[in-house]
Structure 1
């Protein structure tokens, strides 16, 4: 195996796979893409319905546990991240959401020029292959990433959309179009009724490029640094350590947990904390691991007798037995579901013009006991806070273990927003559209009515919705880790390109924004003086309205 390349990319996730494609497009450039996990050729990954089996998988998930959350009854949070080619895009729910235009304008206003909405929109469009005929001013049709409608959504998901309208929310068939607010069926990153991860979209089709090397089933132990210049990485493959070197740059794409972990393990981070962890300080960079943000989520789950919903029962047995055949020969049926088929964005009484909560509707019973599967039927509605004010951190402990502290609900305003969002979710589920399948509310239960009771429920049951960001913050302030060009402050030849660079959390699912970050980073690396993608756009009006 060759050990010297122009570029080393650590992490084959949503951003890393885009980088590998764009950088290796030049045959004169050699690229090595390094992934700790394995290949993605399991039906559990490729079949959409398999996603529910991946979150606690020992093979395909980094099953991190958070530090006890002091504002959530000291509970630890299960924090899965993808451990396979494609990273978390090989285990997520495949929802294609970019966030609100104001999310990116806020980045620019915070000292990150070139990251405002009008500047990033062309990169979203570049990678997208929109198969829905949606507004060409806002969507791309020639990219590698298919964006499609769900193949065979459960009829109960349509009931949710109608119920949301009755509750006063508008219908929205394109959350990435001119209108952000409202409820509808989600568009998905799929192709031929299969998951289309970042790996499947951007890397698998180009594996024949002789200048691209993909390394799997390994661990990156540390960066190789020489006088604050990144020269490569120390990789362990089958117990044997190898040094891989980069002639040009090392690019960290290991995600909001993995990228700061590698920086800290290499001695780049807050000096006092590194010394306490027994790590020799190579570069004092106070912001590494700080600024951790995630969407906190609450759940309302209903037990119903209706076999219309997804679930295991004698009544659903025929459809379950037929589902493999329906999937193989018609690309229909249960195996096509991503479970969170519908949802949307809404405003609570506490917000201004931009929605502050997101819904994920499940046309199946979500266990009130936390089990993967329950006997019987039902439906559930998740509600998460879109722009949390609570900020956490990741710290390295002695022995190399991570302490992941989301610090959820440190700011009381987050609890207020979540409670108001859950009240709205309950109002949607009370609409007449659900009368034919109505059941018993198992969580939180009808006895929960007052704000105090809601608060008790949130502290006992709220959980992460798996969108960690921000731990290698982009910016120019004292706690920023990378510049707007994604270069690590004070270290040459090193960039971070993934969700960790987000100064603030976007309003929605994070896969599409990570792909955009990969696109923009690739252009900055390859052509720093060239006009950016879309620079000649004649119309730059911010597309989203509340």
Structure 2
């Protein structure tokens, strides 16, 4: 006989970890969490710089890749997602970034009641423990993800920031305050030299609750349906193994992430009818938007060779220098092992005259070899990248078969929209200006990527097509919207349209891209969903 709980949560990533912790606070409710990956015992998860190792490790990540297109130079682009306790929060860049208030106001204007910025701010605050400068009316201080400031400061980064200020970009002490524009250091989920994932921040200490069950290496393969009601989940521990059932008295909640949530719905018979027929799956509930409306941020990066004698991350991460940094990490001193991969941010405009920034730019006093995944250059270098806040290009995620051990088809259609291409070119030209300031000049030898020969719009676009990459910000495949919207999958309480007992709580519900990394918003979504599910009064609007 199948085990039975009040709630079955599929996925123990950012959303699932927080949601399981909140739902299990109610001692009268039982919660089971299914995580497809292993426990978070890999030491590289907990060392911030270890992301270089974990992103290439199929033991703790889904090694997804996109479909090739002419606008990616015929390349497949690795779109890695976390597959361990904490999900992508255990392998991501640890950046905490809420975006602009009008991101959420636009969600509300699309018919999603209660999702404006004022409605969501209390939930952002509930999910963070800000350590450092911040308005107490806008920043959380008591619980949640520890959000700290960069403590390892490099002179090249200081020169980059000074150069941006010289260009008229203001220094911003807190881009999460509601006013994003400007340049400064990133805030990150690192405390005492260690990554703090959503699992570690929210769920780890709750596991001694008798009403909470966590199962790892449990890959969900089907939602169990009785008519239009979800009543449980089947999962596999290995390919070809016997499915195990867990039943849900109240709700099945999907928190597997943008790719996996769409695929699980589809192989369970919920999605576009034509696709389900192609898969050989009986149509349980036709819902055209499942897997559609996919968006991601697409970035291009410029690399500068630093002048000889400049000590960048490239040199500090090797030989005796690395040994010194390890010693500093072990003794709690600022060091390169406890930094996020992006050090400085610039939120600015692709063209003059815009009211708000439409670009996110990043800077790091280090560089990677061309065409190689996180392999540092043999010479001193620095990197700056840029991407569009709210891309209009959209694609899809579609199951290839009912075998959940087979990766889904992921097609972002990067830069297919003409405006996206215009903004991307504007972003690359801004990068060049920021890397050519007199303040940074004492450290710069020459531009190596794309190189000084790449100048025209067509040449820059060709470079972007052949060298650009994902930022791992996947959203939209179960987008939130009113029932009359034919592309919507969930309502504004995150319930799947036309179903009962089935809810989606992860980044896939975002109706449009936020002007930020998606992690902070995903946590906010889960926090807000916990109030929906428990029937609690919504947090007071700020």
| Aligned ranges 1:284-303 → 2 under 5 Å | 284-303=286-305
1:377 Cα shift? 1.7
| Aligned ranges 1:56-95 → 2 under 5 Å | 56-95=56-95
| Structure 1 counterpart SS, 2:313 | coil
| 1:411–1:178 distance in 2 versus 1, CA, 3 Å | closer
The separation in 2 between residues aligned to 1:387 and 1:287, in whole angstroms, is 20
The residue that corresponds to 2:372 in the other structure is: 370
1:399 Cα shift? 5.4
User: RMSD in angstroms over aligned alpha carbons?
Assistant: 1.6
Asked if the contact 2:425–2:460 (Cα under 8 Å) also holds between the matched residues in 1, the reply is yes
Asked if the contact 1:368–1:442 (Cα under 8 Å) also holds between the matched residues in 2, the reply is no
1:2 Cα shift? 7.6
1:398 Cα shift? 3.9
1:167 Cα shift? 1.9
1:175 Cα shift? 0.8
The residue that corresponds to 1:427 in the other structure is: 433
| Aligned ranges 1:413-452 → 2 under 5 Å | 413-452=419-458
| Aligned ranges 1:36-435 → 2 under 5 Å | 36-238=36-238, 239-304=241-306, 305-312=308-315, 317-349=319-351, 352-373=354-375, 374-398=377-401, 400=403, 401=406, 402-435=408-441
The separation in 1 between residues aligned to 2:46 and 2:258, in whole angstroms, is 24
The residue that corresponds to 1:543 in the other structure is: none
Partner deviation per Cα, 1:270-314 (whole Å, 9 max, x = no partner): 00111012222111000000000111101101122344210148x
Asked if the contact 2:98–2:517 (Cα under 8 Å) also holds between the matched residues in 1, the reply is yes
Asked if the contact 1:93–1:340 (Cα under 8 Å) also holds between the matched residues in 2, the reply is yes
The residue that corresponds to 1:526 in the other structure is: 534
Asked if the contact 1:127–1:142 (Cα under 8 Å) also holds between the matched residues in 2, the reply is no
Unaligned runs of 5+ in 1: 541-546
The residue that corresponds to 1:25 in the other structure is: 25
1:388 Cα shift? 0.5
TM-score (norm 1): 0.95
Asked if the contact 2:100–2:179 (Cα under 8 Å) also holds between the matched residues in 1, the reply is no
The separation in 1 between residues aligned to 2:101 and 2:12, in whole angstroms, is 27
1:462 Cα shift? 1.3
| 1:350–1:462 distance in 2 versus 1, CA, 3 Å | farther
| Structure 1 counterpart SS, 2:39 | coil
- Segment of structure 1 superposing worse, 241-250 or 297-306: 297-306
Asked if the contact 2:2–2:245 (Cα under 8 Å) also holds between the matched residues in 1, the reply is no
| 1:222–1:153 distance in 2 versus 1, CA, 3 Å | farther
Asked if the contact 2:100–2:178 (Cα under 8 Å) also holds between the matched residues in 1, the reply is no
1:371 Cα shift? 4.1
Asked if the contact 2:279–2:400 (Cα under 8 Å) also holds between the matched residues in 1, the reply is yes
Matched, 1:475 2:475: no
User: Which one of 517, 521, 524 corresponds to residue 513 of structure 1?
Assistant: 521
- Segment of structure 1 superposing worse, 143-152 or 294-303: 143-152
The separation in 2 between residues aligned to 1:66 and 1:490, in whole angstroms, is 30
1:391 Cα shift? 1.0
The separation in 2 between residues aligned to 1:350 and 1:279, in whole angstroms, is 51
- Segment of structure 1 superposing worse, 388-397 or 362-371: 362-371
| 1:423–1:13 distance in 2 versus 1, CA, 3 Å | same
1:42 Cα shift? 2.1
Matched, 1:492 2:500: yes
How many residue pairs end up in the alignment?
A: 533
1:385 Cα shift? 0.8
Asked if the contact 1:51–1:338 (Cα under 8 Å) also holds between the matched residues in 2, the reply is no
Partner deviation per Cα, 1:234-270 (whole Å, 9 max, x = no partner): 0112533210000110000001101001000101000
The separation in 1 between residues aligned to 2:173 and 2:193, in whole angstroms, is 20
Asked if the contact 2:181–2:347 (Cα under 8 Å) also holds between the matched residues in 1, the reply is yes
Asked if the contact 1:265–1:396 (Cα under 8 Å) also holds between the matched residues in 2, the reply is yes
The residue that corresponds to 1:544 in the other structure is: none
Asked if the contact 2:531–2:537 (Cα under 8 Å) also holds between the matched residues in 1, the reply is no
1:330 Cα shift? 2.4
The separation in 2 between residues aligned to 1:351 and 1:41, in whole angstroms, is 50
The separation in 1 between residues aligned to 2:174 and 2:216, in whole angstroms, is 36
- Segment of structure 1 superposing worse, 173-182 or 304-313: 304-313
Partner deviation per Cα, 1:339-380 (whole Å, 9 max, x = no partner): 211112101117721211101111101222324323222010
- Segment of structure 1 superposing worse, 229-238 or 518-527: 229-238
| Structure 2 counterpart SS, 1:53 | helix
The separation in 2 between residues aligned to 1:474 and 1:393, in whole angstroms, is 16
